[in-house]
Structure 1
Amino acid sequence: MDAEPAAPRPAIVLVSEERCEFLRDEFGRYARDYEIGTATSAADAEALAKELTAAGHQIALFVTESRLPDGPILAALHRLRVAVPTARRLIAAHWDHFLADADELRSGMVTGKYDAYLLMPRGVRDEEFHGAVCELLSDWGSTVGAPVVTPAEIVGTPDDLVVREIRDYLERIGLASGLHAPDSPAGQALIARWREEQGSEPRLPLFLSSRNGLSTPAGARDVATALYGRPDSLDPEGAHTVVDVCIVGAGPAGLAASVYAASEGLMTVTVESDAIGGQAGTSSMIRNYLGFPRGVSGMRLAQRARIQALRFGTRFFTGWEVESLTPGADGAPHTVHTAGGDVRARAVVLATGVTYRKLGVDPLEALVGRGVYYGSAMSVAREMEGGDVVVVGGGNSAGQAALHLARFARSVTIAVRREGLEATMSTYLIKEISYHHRVSVRPFTEVVDGGGDGRLEWLTLRDRRDGSQDTTAAAGLFLLLGAEPRSDWLPDGIARDDKGYVLTGRSVPAETWVDGVPPPSLCTTVPGIFAVGDIRSGSMKRVATASGEGAGVVPLVHAHLGGTG
C-alpha cells in the first residue's frame, strides 16, 4: 500500500509577553509531533494561528499566561476561540499570579471560555502539568485531529449507511479508522489483497482490522463480532457453561457492575446491543463527573471502564441485542437469549438504559444516516464544518452535543418544546451555551418537516405557541428526544411501571413482598434478577448515579448467590 504524503503537523501556540522562551523550553518534549509557535499577545497569537492554518496546520492547543498586554485574558481567549473553535485553550499562570488570578478566572471554565487553569511549571519533569496537557491533546486528537495510527481500515464511500454505522461504532469504542475510496491507491491495494486471498470480487464496504484481517461486514454487528465474538462461544460443543452473573447493557451502570463483579471473583459476562458505553458513551464532554476536574468524554470514560473490567476478567459481547429472558425455576439458572446464542447465569443484572424517542416525521426518518441522526453521532461532527445544524432536545446530552458540534458548524440551534433549558439541563451547560457565539436556543419549537436531494438540506420548524412555521437550511439534524426504557423483551414476571421502567425494592407491588418485607433496593420481583441505572423506575438518570447503582448491586448479587438474598 503506497504511503500517502505526510500532512503538516498540528500546532501548539504559546502566548506570553515575557516568557515565550521559557514556555518553548517547557514544551520542547512535544516538538517532534507538533509545530510549536510563540506569540507575545492575543493579537499576535490570532495572526499566527491564521498563518499556521493557511499553511495547512491545525491548531491543537493555545497556552497563555493569565495576564496578557492587550486586554483581559478572558476577552483574549474569546478571540482565540472565534479564530479557531476546535482548539483547546489552557491558562498556565505564573506562580507570582496564580492565586491572585484564580478566583476571577476559574469561573470562566464553567462557561467554557477555556479548558484548564494550571500553575506554570517551576522545575523539570512537572508531570502533573504535562499530564493535563496530554489530556487536552488527547481529547483534541480523538475529536478533531485526523488519526495517525488507524488499527482499522475501511474501503467504501462516506454516504454508505453501512460505512457510517461501522465508523460510528468504532469511534464510540475509541478505535481509530481510516476510510479509503474504492478508486484510491489504498482502496485499490486492499481490494487487490482480497482478490488474492479470496479469489473473488469483494462486496463493499471492505474492512481490515489488525486482529481479524479482511472481511466484508454487513453492519456494525459483524465488526463487533469480529472483535468480541458471539455469546454462544461460551458453550463450545454444548458445554452448558453457567456464569455467575450476566449483565445486560454496558452503559455506566453495566460497566460499573462489570468491574466490581469481576474484581470480586464472579464469572461475569456483559452483553450489549450497541457500542460499549451506551448513550453516555456518545457524550463529547462530561464536566461534572467526580474525579475529572477538566472533564472527560463519554467515550474515554467508557473505554477506561471497559479496560478495567477486561483486566478483572469480564467477557464482553457487543452487537447482540437481548431478545428475551427466561427466569430459572427453583434455583435453576436464568437464560438470556440473543440471536448469537444464549447465556446461562445464576444472576442477571438489567442495565439496558433507555433509548431516544423517534421524531415520527416520515421525510426525515427516510434521511436517517444522511444528515439526520439519533444521538450526537460524534463520527459525523467534522462533516458539519461550515454548515447550519439543529439539535432537538433539552437534556444534558443535547447540550453536550450542541457544544461539540459548534466546534465545526457555522451555527447550532437547540430546538426545545419548553420555554427554555432550565428545567432539564445542568446549570454549567446552560452557562456555557449562553456564552457560546455559535449556539442559540429556540424555545417552544418542534421540527415538522424536512428534506433534500439524497441527504438533509432543509428543515421546517413550527412555533408551538401560534403555529407559525419557517423553513431553514440545515446540514444536520441531531435528535436527542428524551428517553424510553428498553424493556419490551422482559418476561411478565418482572414488574414494571406504567411507562415500562423496572420496579425494584419498595416500589415493587406489595403482594409480591415476602412476609410483608420488600426486596432489597435493586432487586426486581424475580429472585436473582436485578435492575440498575436508567432502566430502573425512580432512577435519577445521571451517569454518576448509574455508576453507583452498578457498583451497589454487586453485594446483592453475592447475597443471592450465597443463598442469603
Structure 2
Amino acid sequence: MPGRAHSQSAASTLSAMDDRPVILLVVGEHADVVEQEFRARYDRDYRIETAVGFDAGLDRARELVADGAQIAMIAAEHHLDEGTSIEFLHHVPAIVATARRVALVGFEDFADAIGDLRAAALRRDMDTFILIPRGPRDEEFHTALIELLSEWGWSVGRPLVTVTDLVAESGDRGAAAIRDLLERLGIPHRVLAPGDDEAEEIVEAAGAGAELPLVRAFTGRVLSAATPAAVAEAMYGGFDTIPQGVIADVAIVGAGPAGLAAAVYAASEGLATVVLERDAIGGQAGSSSMIRNYLGFPRGISGMRLAQRSRIQAGRFGARFYTGRPAISVAPGPADEPEHQHVHVAGAQMCARTVVLATGVTYRRLGVPGVDDLVGAGVYYGAATSMAREMQDRDVYVVGGGNSAGQAAVHLAKFAGAVTILVRRAALAETMSDYLVREIAATSNIQVRTRTVVADGGGDGRLQWLRLEDLDTGEAGKTLADGLFCLLGAEPDCSWLPDGVALDERGFVLTGRDVPREAWIDGDPPASLETTVPGIFAVGDVRAGSMKRVASASGEGASVLPLIHAHLERLRAREFGA
C-alpha cells in the first residue's frame, strides 16, 4: 500500500500544478465510454476529472473550486446512484455558476427521459443534453461540447493566445470602452499595465510623446491615445482606403444582423457590396451574451459569435467592411450621375447605386446626471459583457425590460453576487420573451423590481450607490451598487438622413405603404422596404414597424435583395434607353 499512497500523492501534486481549465465528469454505468471520449478529444487543453456518483460529483466540484481551479464544464450521466442528471446539475450553480452544464444520456434511456430533459433545459437547469456516443467519430456529440467550451472560453476564461494588446492605467474609462469593443468583435486580447515587462516593447514602438491607452493591433500598428473608433478602423480597414472612383452596387450603412444579412446575400449574388459601420460589427446584438431563440442554433449562440460568423461569411463572398466612423450624410450624386447616392463619413465618401439603411437603434440615456457622469466607471449602456468578470460577487443592477436586458442579467448572474432588474412596467412578460422570463425566475441570485426607476446615483470616482424610486408609492430608498447596466428602450439616429427620407413621429424610417400617400410616386407606394427616396432602403430596427428582434432583422436584410435587383435593373434600362 505504500506505493499506492505515493502514487496518489504524486497525482495530487501534479493536479495542483496543472492550471488547465477542468472538465468534471460525473459518471455511472457508462463511466469507461464517457471518460474515454472526453480524454481522446480534450485532454491536451483541459484537465479531465472524474467522480463516480451524485454526492461524489458535488464534493469534487466543491474541492476544485476551493483549490482555485477553473471549471469549464460539468458533464453528468443521466442516471446516477442517488438521482438524475437533472437533479445533480440543478445544484451546480450554487457551487460554480460559470461552468457549462451537460446531461449525458444513454441511447436506451433517451425516449423515457426526453420530456424531463427538455423541461429542465427550459428551466435552465442545464445548458444542453446529448446522447452518449455509441461508436467512434460522433461529431454531433463533440460539436455540442465544443460550442459550449468556446462560449465559456470567450465569456469566462482568459485567452491564452492573443492578437491585440492594450496598455492602459487601471480604471481608465477609455480603455474600458476599447475592451468592450474588442470583446464584441471577438478579438482575443490582453490588458497590460504600463510598468509590465510585456508592455515595454509596445511603449517603445509607440515612440516619444505617445499617450495612453496604447493599442497594438494584429497588423503590428500601435495606436497612441487610442479610442474605440480608431481601434475599430485599424481592425477592419479605414475609410481612407476606399478606392477613388469606385461605385458599389449597394452600400449598407450599419453592420448589425440586418446589415450583415444584406451583405451576405448581396455579395453572394455578385453585387459589389460595401458595409459602413461606426462601431463594432454586430451592432447591439453583438453584445448579447446568449441568443437562444435564433433559428438553427438549438443550444443558443452569443451575439458576438453570430456577428463574427456573419462578417466572415459576407467577406468570403467579397463584401468589404469599413468601420470606425459614422455616416454623416447621404445625397444624390452630381449632375453626371444623378441616379447614384453618395454616403459621406468624416473625410471620405462612398458612391453606390443603392443604399441600405441598417443603422439599428441606440439605448436611451437614463437622464440622471449623477449616474451618467459615471459612464465607464461602473455605469454602462448596453450589455458590456467585457465587464461581467469585473462584477464578481458584487451587487449589480440592470435597467430595462427587453430581451437584451434579460440576456445581460442572466449572464451577469454567473459572476455577480446579486443582480436586480429594474423595470417601469408591472411585469417582465409584457416586453420580454417567455423563455427569458422563466430563466430569470429560475436564477436564484436575480431579483426583479417592477414599477421602479433610478432616481439618483453616485460614488467617489465610480458607482457606489443608487437611489431607487417606486413609481406607485413615490417612495425612494438608497442602496449600495457596484454596477449599473442600462438597456433602455430604442431610439433611432436618423438625424443625418436627407429631408427626402420620411420618418415617423418617433424618428424611425418609413417604408412601403407606411409612407404618406402624398409621397407616393405616380400613385404607387414605394416597395415594401424602400424609403421615400428611390434606391434607398431601410431594414431592421431603424425601420418603422419592425419587430426589433434579431431574426426579423436578419430576415429583412435578406428580403431587401430582390428590391435592390429590381432597382438596379431599372437603372440599367434607363442607362441603355430600354
Which TM-score applies when normalising by structure 2?
0.93
- 1:178-257 equivalences under 5 Å are 178-194=190-206, 198=207, 200-235=208-243, 239-257=244-262
Map of 2:311 onto structure 1: 306
Q: Does 1:57 find its partner at 2:69?
A: yes
Structure 1 residue 201: Cα displacement:
4.8
Provide the secondary structure at the position in 2 that maps to 1:250.
coil
- 1:319-338 equivalences under 5 Å are 319-328=324-333, 331-338=338-345
Map of 1:142 onto structure 2: 154
Cα distance in 2 for partners of 1:129, 1:217 equals 46
Structure 1 residue 179: Cα displacement:
0.5
Query: CA-atom RMSD, angstroms?
Result: 1.5
Structure 1 residue 240: Cα displacement:
2.3
Structure 1 residue 211: Cα displacement:
1.1
Of residues 346-355 and 201-210 in structure 1, the stretch that sits farther from structure 2 once superposed is 201-210
Map of 2:99 onto structure 1: 87
Cα distance in 2 for partners of 1:484, 1:254 equals 18
Cα distance in 2 for partners of 1:20, 1:207 equals 48
Kept in 1, the 8 Å contact 2:357–2:536? The answer is yes
Aligned residue among 298, 301, 304 for 1:293: 298
Map of 1:33 onto structure 2: 45
Cα distance in 2 for partners of 1:234, 1:189 equals 32
Structure 1 residue 470: Cα displacement:
1.2
Of residues 398-407 and 105-114 in structure 1, the stretch that sits farther from structure 2 once superposed is 105-114
Kept in 2, the 8 Å contact 1:212–1:226? The answer is no
Deviations 1:120-142 (A, max 9, x none): 10011111100110000001000
Structure 1 residue 77: Cα displacement:
1.0
Provide the secondary structure at the position in 1 that maps to 2:124.
coil
Q: Does 1:269 find its partner at 2:264?
A: no
Map of 1:503 onto structure 2: 510
The count of aligned residue pairs is 553
Structure 1 residue 443: Cα displacement:
0.5
Structure 1 residue 496: Cα displacement:
0.7
Identity %, equivalent residues? 54
Map of 1:3 onto structure 2: none
Cα pair distance change 1:340/1:135, threshold 3 Å: farther
Question: What amino acid sits opposite 2:33 in the alignment?
Answer: F
Cα distance in 1 for partners of 2:543, 2:178 equals 30
Cα distance in 1 for partners of 2:422, 2:565 equals 46
Map of 1:553 onto structure 2: 560
Question: What amino acid sits opposite 2:247 in the alignment?
Answer: V
Cα distance in 1 for partners of 2:426, 2:29 equals 49
- 1:154-553 equivalences under 5 Å are 154-194=166-206, 198=207, 200-235=208-243, 239-328=244-333, 331-553=338-560
Cα distance in 2 for partners of 1:232, 1:493 equals 28
Deviations 1:333-353 (A, max 9, x none): 111111141111111000001
Structure 1 residue 511: Cα displacement:
1.4
Kept in 1, the 8 Å contact 2:215–2:226? The answer is no
Structure 1 residue 397: Cα displacement:
0.2
Map of 2:124 onto structure 1: 112
Provide the secondary structure at the position in 2 that maps to 1:562.
helix
Question: What amino acid sits opposite 2:236 in the alignment?
Answer: Y
Cα pair distance change 1:212/1:189, threshold 3 Å: closer
Deviations 1:398-442 (A, max 9, x none): 000000000000010000001111110000000100011111110
Question: What amino acid sits opposite 2:145 in the alignment?
Answer: V
Cα pair distance change 1:310/1:158, threshold 3 Å: farther
Structure 1 residue 54: Cα displacement:
2.9
Cα distance in 2 for partners of 1:122, 1:252 equals 38
Kept in 1, the 8 Å contact 2:422–2:449? The answer is yes
Cα distance in 2 for partners of 1:481, 1:383 equals 22
Q: Does 1:562 find its partner at 2:555?
A: no
Provide the secondary structure at the position in 1 that maps to 2:429.
coil
Cα pair distance change 1:340/1:284, threshold 3 Å: farther
Cα distance in 2 for partners of 1:104, 1:208 equals 50
Cα distance in 1 for partners of 2:491, 2:223 equals 35
Provide the secondary structure at the position in 2 that maps to 1:547.
helix
Structure 1 residue 472: Cα displacement:
1.2
Structure 1 residue 112: Cα displacement:
1.3
Structure 1 residue 67: Cα displacement:
1.9
Question: What amino acid sits opposite 1:71 in the alignment?
Answer: G
Structure 1 residue 72: Cα displacement:
4.2
Cα pair distance change 1:193/1:326, threshold 3 Å: closer
Deviations 1:130-174 (A, max 9, x none): 011000000100000011111001111241122111111111010
Deviations 1:353-388 (A, max 9, x none): 111000000011110000000000011100000101
Kept in 2, the 8 Å contact 1:217–1:223? The answer is no
Map of 2:6 onto structure 1: none
Of residues 69-78 and 302-311 in structure 1, the stretch that sits farther from structure 2 once superposed is 69-78
Structure 1 residue 46: Cα displacement:
2.0
Cα distance in 2 for partners of 1:98, 1:257 equals 41
Cα distance in 2 for partners of 1:148, 1:374 equals 29
Question: What amino acid sits opposite 1:111 in the alignment?
Answer: R
Kept in 1, the 8 Å contact 2:164–2:218? The answer is yes
Kept in 1, the 8 Å contact 2:263–2:314? The answer is yes
Question: What amino acid sits opposite 1:64 in the alignment?
Answer: A
Task: Extract unaligned runs of 5+ from structure 2.
Answer: 1-16, 574-578
Task: Extract unaligned runs of 5+ from structure 1.
Answer: 1-5
Provide the secondary structure at the position in 1 that maps to 2:251.
strand
Kept in 2, the 8 Å contact 1:158–1:164? The answer is no
Question: What amino acid sits opposite 1:155 in the alignment?
Answer: V
Structure 1 residue 104: Cα displacement:
1.4
Kept in 2, the 8 Å contact 1:111–1:433? The answer is no
Provide the secondary structure at the position in 1 that maps to 2:329.
strand
Of residues 160-169 and 407-416 in structure 1, the stretch that sits farther from structure 2 once superposed is 160-169
Structure 1 residue 217: Cα displacement:
4.2
Question: What amino acid sits opposite 1:37 in the alignment?
Answer: E
Provide the secondary structure at the position in 2 that maps to 1:345.
strand
Cα distance in 2 for partners of 1:181, 1:293 equals 41
Cα distance in 1 for partners of 2:235, 2:204 equals 24
Structure 1 residue 524: Cα displacement:
0.6
Question: What amino acid sits opposite 1:182 in the alignment?
Answer: P
Map of 1:47 onto structure 2: 59
Kept in 1, the 8 Å contact 2:65–2:95? The answer is no
Cα distance in 2 for partners of 1:319, 1:151 equals 19
Q: Where has structure 1 moved over 6 Å in runs of 4 or more?
A: none
Which TM-score applies when normalising by structure 1?
0.95
Structure 1 residue 56: Cα displacement:
2.9
Cα pair distance change 1:147/1:560, threshold 3 Å: same
Cα pair distance change 1:7/1:516, threshold 3 Å: farther
